């Protein structure tokens, strides 16, 4: 494991919300901090998609979230992705996906509306329900993947499925990511990574490679905000693996990071040298690159990202603990300017305010 175990200086606010938060996402708000966010719960008889706001008290400098609108949801909410500030999509453990809108009523209150329901997207050969494990968005386009090994291509503008790739995988697909408008990356339970050209008439990947030499399961995927060919995967053993997809499908480097499974990783959208990660062992870390480096692997011999350093990459990174380690899993995190929010299995939401930025 690589960490300096130092805790950054900032304000930490925790709130008990009486349900396990599996996904949490800030509402996009352009150049400004967003006070609104949405959550999706798991392990309830009826789960909820909730829209929240933060209330600040000048008297005691306390900040706590309060729900604005709650929408009952069938199944566990396994993923949430915003298309823009008005629309977001949820993935259900019952094999469906749902498009929600955030609308303003005449009295100024915000509400959630379920605009489109894509039911029964994922199911096994015996027609038992298959969880929709993850989804990805690119402008108005969506892709869903599931335990049934199926890929569905959708658009937010229609209830019809544009295309289904049956038997895309022989086992569960757990992660999906748009590389380009017509290209996606998926990963399965056995650690296989597959690149798909959505323009191809053939239901076969254009490239297949392994996360590592062993059958380690990837748990999350992310691309660099300004260098989309830079891909990082977190896995069930707590490692971060980096690829440069311009050159080959062999990892540039592998970092042993968290003690347990990595649940989510996100680059900061405004400061791409910063990475944030959270784990099943209750850790949430802030990764910062010390400096830019020159690499002989660069195709144009310009400065390349530190994450693409083939040697001693950990010596070029500083890792900070954002809050004391919890006894429960931190399931999800998201970023908005200098604020990090996370949802946890201990039925609490945490706001980390004043995170150090360059």
Q: Radius of gyration (Cα) for the chain, nearest Å? A: 20
- pLDDT (mean) for 128-157: 97
Res. 297 pLDDT band, cuts 50 70 90? very low
Domains contained in the chain, number: 1
What is the distance between the alpha carbons of residues 104 and 109, in angstroms, rounded to a whole number? Answer: 6
Q: Domain range holding 79?
A: 6-353
* 26 CB-near residues (< 8 Å, 6+ apart): 34, 36, 37, 334, 335, 336, 341
Q: Does residue 1 lie within any of the structural domains? A: no
Q: pLDDT (tens digit, 9 = 90+) per residue, 212-227?
A: 767 899 999 999 999 9
> Residue 212: what pLDDT?
75
- pLDDT (mean) for 45-55: 94
Are 244 and 308 within 8 A, CB to CB?
Answer: yes
- pLDDT (mean) for 302-318: 71
The better pLDDT of the pair 94, 30 is held by 94
Task: Show the tokens assigned to 191.
Answer: 């650690």
User: Is 60 exceeded by the pLDDT of residue 275?
Assistant: yes
- pLDDT (mean) for 55-78: 83
- pLDDT (mean) for 31-49: 90
What is the distance between the alpha carbons of residues 106 and 332, in angstroms, rounded to a whole number? Answer: 33
User: Residue 276 forms beta bridges with which residues?
Assistant: 266, 286
- pLDDT (mean) for 177-205: 96
> Residue 113: what pLDDT?
97
User: Is 60 exceeded by the pLDDT of residue 232?
Assistant: yes
- For residue 261, count CB atoms less than 10 angstroms from its CB and return exposed for 0-12, middle for 13-18, buried for 19 or more: middle
Q: Does residue 20 lie within any of the structural domains? A: yes
Res. 292 pLDDT band, cuts 50 70 90? very low
- pLDDT (mean) for 169-185: 96
- pLDDT (mean) for 172-197: 96
The better pLDDT of the pair 11, 82 is held by 82
User: Is 50 exceeded by the pLDDT of residue 208?
Assistant: yes
Are 53 and 351 within 8 A, CB to CB?
Answer: no
User: Is 70 exceeded by the pLDDT of residue 52?
Assistant: yes
User: Is 90 exceeded by the pLDDT of residue 151?
Assistant: yes
> Residue 6: what pLDDT?
55
User: Is 70 exceeded by the pLDDT of residue 61?
Assistant: no
Q: Does residue 358 lie within any of the structural domains? A: no
* Cα three-residue angle 356-234-97, rounded to 5 degrees: 100
10 Å Cβ neighbour count for 12? 16
User: Is 70 exceeded by the pLDDT of residue 302?
Assistant: no
* 300 CB-near residues (< 8 Å, 6+ apart): none
Res. 59 pLDDT band, cuts 50 70 90? low
Domain at 298, CATH number: 2.130.10.10
- pLDDT (mean) for 148-153: 98
């Amino acid at each position: 494991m690589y960490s300096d175990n130092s805790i950054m200086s900032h304000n930490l606010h925790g709130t008990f919300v009486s349900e396990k938060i599996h996904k949490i996402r800030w509402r996009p708000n352009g150049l400004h901090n967003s006070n609104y966010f949405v959550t999706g719960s798991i392990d309830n008889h009826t789960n909820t998609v909730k829209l929240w706001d933060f209330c600040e008290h000048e008297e005691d400098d306390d900040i706590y979230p309060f729900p604005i609108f709650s929408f009952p949801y069938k199944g566990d909410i396994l993923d949430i992705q915003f298309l823009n500030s008005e629309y977001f999509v949820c993935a259900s453990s019952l094999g469906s996906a749902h498009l929600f809108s955030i609308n303003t009523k005449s009295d100024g209150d915000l509400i959630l509306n379920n605009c489109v329901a894509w039911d029964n997207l994922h199911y096994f050969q015996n027609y038992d329900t298959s969880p929709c494990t993850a989804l990805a968005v690119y402008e108005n386009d969506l892709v869903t993947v599931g335990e049934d090994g199926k890929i569905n291509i959708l658009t937010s503008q229609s209830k019809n499925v544009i295309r289904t790739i049956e038997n895309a995988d022989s086992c569960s697909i757990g992660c999906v990511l748009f590389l380009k408008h017509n290209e996606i990356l998926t990963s399965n339970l056995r650690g296989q990574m597959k690149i798909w050209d959505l323009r191809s008439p053939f239901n076969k990947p254009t490239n297949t490679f392994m996360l590592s030499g062993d059958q380690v399961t990837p748990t999350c995927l992310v691309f660099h905000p300004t260098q989309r060919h830079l891909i990082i995967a977190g896995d069930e053993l707590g490692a971060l693996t980096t690829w440069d997809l311009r050159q080959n499908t062999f990892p540039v480097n592998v970092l042993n990071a968290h003690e347990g499974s990595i649940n989510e990783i996100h680059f900061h959208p405004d400061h791409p040298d910063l990475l944030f990660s959270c784990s099943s062992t209750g850790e949430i870390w802030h990764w910062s690159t010390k400096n830019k480096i020159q690499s002989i692997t660069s195709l144009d011999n310009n400065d390349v990202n530190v994450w693409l350093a083939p040697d001693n990459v950990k010596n070029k990174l500083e890792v900070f603990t954002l809050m004391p380690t919890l006894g429960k899993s931190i399931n999800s995190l998201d970023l908005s300017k200098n604020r990090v929010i996370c949802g946890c299995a201990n039925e609490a939401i945490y706001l980390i305010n004043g995170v150090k930025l360059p």
